[in-house]
Amino acid sequence: FKCENLQKVGAFKARGAHNAVLCLDEAQRARGVATHSSGNHAAALALAASHFGVPAYIVMPDNAPATKVAAVRAYGGDITFCEPTQAARESTLEALCARTGASFIPPYDHPDVIAGQGTTALELAGQLDPPPDCLLTPVGGGGLLAGCAVASKALLPHTQVIGAEPAGADDALRSFNSGQWQPQLAPATVADGLRTALGQLNFALIRAHVDDILSADDTAIIHATRLVWTRMKLVIEPSAAVGLAVVLSHPRRFAGKRVAIVFSGGNVDLDQLPW
């Protein structure tokens, strides 16, 4: 298990955000960075910006969880609230970037962000000997899966890369099987971090480098989450448990294989747990 729940900000998102800020030139950094997010990317970008001593402008919906807002503020992010719609997020961010000159760092569909997420597999390649037969990562927007797939095919050529997705938010699975990007249709899953639509850039990389995408239903996801909490004594969020849920849901597929699973994060809202 690759425990990104123990990563900075409690999620793999710290990798992509740091790499994206690192890739900016000095003039761009001086003007700051900006994004719209109500989740882990907001905190990750605020932390990355603080490491480089640059401003971070974060657009958040006015119904964002208080814990997420507190995390962004703790890392020094400058929050602008907006109505909880995609249109409001985008228009508020556009106005903010125009006013400040800040560089927009999207949460997943960006080359530097994808490359940063791929360092997860880069580390795994140096940590596991012999290499795993399979590497599973959750897939929502697709940045983690795309980045890990690109890195794995270069460093772990004999390792199958498999995306793990909730059955109630399976746009990546449908896109992968059809060969064409498919929209996210009314996602309904306990894995709230994976309700995001698959990014177009990520889909192109996934088509080229991923071996398969499998899904698990919410019953399996909840079971896997509880199993990790009780047996491993690790706090992971339901989105992070999808890889394990997929393995447990497809026992014949993985029987006798060395399997690496990425636990993508551990930011759990205890008031929203389904048990």
Residue 131 to residue 212: CA distance in whole angstroms: 18
Residue 118 to residue 131: CA distance in whole angstroms: 16
CATH number of 8-106: 3.40.50.1100
At 93, is the secondary structure helix, strand, or coil?
A: helix
Is 264 labeled as catalytic in the residue annotation? Answer: yes
The CA–CA distances, whole Å, from 81 to 101, 112, 202, 218 equal 19, 26, 28, 31
Q: What is the dihedral of CA 8, 226, 184, 33, to 10 degrees?
A: -10
Please report the pLDDT score of residue 171 as a whole number: 96
Counting as low any pLDDT under 70, the low residues of the chain are: 272-275
Residue 152 to residue 118: CA distance in whole angstroms: 8
Please report the pLDDT score of residue 213 as a whole number: 99
Residue 107, phi then psi, degrees to nearest 5: -70, -20
Q: Give the tokens for residue 245.
A: 């849920």
Domain positions in the chain: 8-106, 113-272
Q: Give the tokens for residue 87.
A: 């249109």
- 8-106 against 113-272: fold identical: yes
Name residues whose C-beta falls within 8 Å of residue 124's C-beta, 6 or more positions apart in sequence: 2, 132, 135, 156, 260
Selecting among 2, 13, 38, 68, the annotated active-site residue is: 13
The CA–CA distances, whole Å, from 219 to 136, 170, 182, 232 equal 19, 15, 25, 19
Residue 153 to residue 147: CA distance in whole angstroms: 10
Please report the pLDDT score of residue 38 as a whole number: 79
Q: Which CATH number fits domain 113-272: 3.20.20.20, 3.40.50.1100, 3.20.20.100, 3.40.1160.10?
A: 3.40.50.1100
Cβ 30 vs Cβ 54: under 8 Å: yes
At 135, is the secondary structure helix, strand, or coil?
A: strand
